Amino acid sequence: MSLNIHAIRAIYAFEMARTRRTLMQSIVSPVISTSLYFVVFGAAIGSRIQEVDGVAYGAFIVPGLIMLSLLTQSISNASFGIYFPKFTGTIYELLSAPVSPLEIVLSYVGAAATKSMVLGLIILATAGLFVPLHIEHPLWMLVFLVLTSVTFSLVGFIIGLWADNFEKLQVVPLLIITPLTFLGGSFYSIKMLPAFWQTVSLFNPVVYLVSGFRWCFLGQADVSVGTSLGMTLAFMLGSLGVVGWIFKTGWRLKR
């Protein structure tokens, strides 16, 4: 089965154009928020915690801050992108058009992931203004950046299909993803925790994302890189399975 490239390109271009119309919310606001994190955590806490595992605290938190923005923005971009057609009713035109579920997912998830990756790279450049940066494994950093953006854009796509009001779009990012990110070693190494809490932290999937991404920068990680990569791929495949089930059953699409 050949892909309808024209349809994918049209939906993708429309979603990317929406980003240009909401530049303040999509790009400027997350960058300002991340800069504030650098000021607060890097200056206030960094003055008391000089180093973590031999790395300056300001540089240590860079991967965690990028991951925090990447996760929340991937979910936000993808969930709103598919929810808005549901809200306006235009999703029925999309479903009746000669566009397959795969093409719909590629378009919306691809656009959301692209926006998140661009934002992640902008935040990386912004971080360089605050702390000296060195990336040990730049190619692997891009791999983790792409995988994480795609994975959580899929999660956001699922949330957008599940939500039936604007409040529900915010529930998962605010009450689940953000706390998991803060507790996932974004601002500290889980090795600093007591043994019991180290074990508990390993049940937090964000730990593996942050750890793998931090390894790309610093060459050190809380868990093995292979485990981090495997968990990310497993999460992405699981999300793809859920999306496939939704289109197969019509759950939240035909109501």
Residue 124 maps to a domain: yes
What's the pLDDT at 254?
60
Whether 190 contacts 201, CB under 8 Å: yes
The DSSP element (H or E) to which 127 belongs, if any, is: helix 101-127
Tell me how far apart the 2 most distant CA atoms of the chain are, in Å.
60
Pick from 45, 72, 142, 157: nearest CA to 111 = 157
Number of domains in the chain: 1
Residue 224 maps to a domain: yes
What's the pLDDT at 241?
94
Angle at 201 between CA 196 and CA 202, to 5 degrees: 105
CB atoms within 10 A of CB 245: 11
* pLDDT in single tens digits along all 255 residues of the chain: 578 899 999 999 999 988 777 777 777 888 888 888 877 776 666 666 777 878 888 889 999 999 998 999 999 999 999 998 888 888 888 888 888 989 999 999 999 999 999 999 999 998 888 888 889 999 999 999 999 999 999 999 999 999 888 888 888 888 888 899 889 999 889 998 999 999 999 999 999 999 999 999 999 999 999 999 999 999 999 999 999 999 888 887 765
Residue 199 maps to a domain: yes
E strands of the chain, at which residues? Answer: 51-52, 55-56
**Which range of residues forms the domain containing residue 225?**
5-249
What's the pLDDT at 103?
92
What's the pLDDT at 236?
94
What's the pLDDT at 132?
84
Which DSSP letter does residue 190 get?
G
Q: How far apart are CA 218 and CA 110, in angstroms?
A: 29
What's the pLDDT at 78?
93
Residue 254 maps to a domain: no
Residue 255 maps to a domain: no
Q: What is the pTM of this model?
A: 0.90
Residue 25 maps to a domain: yes
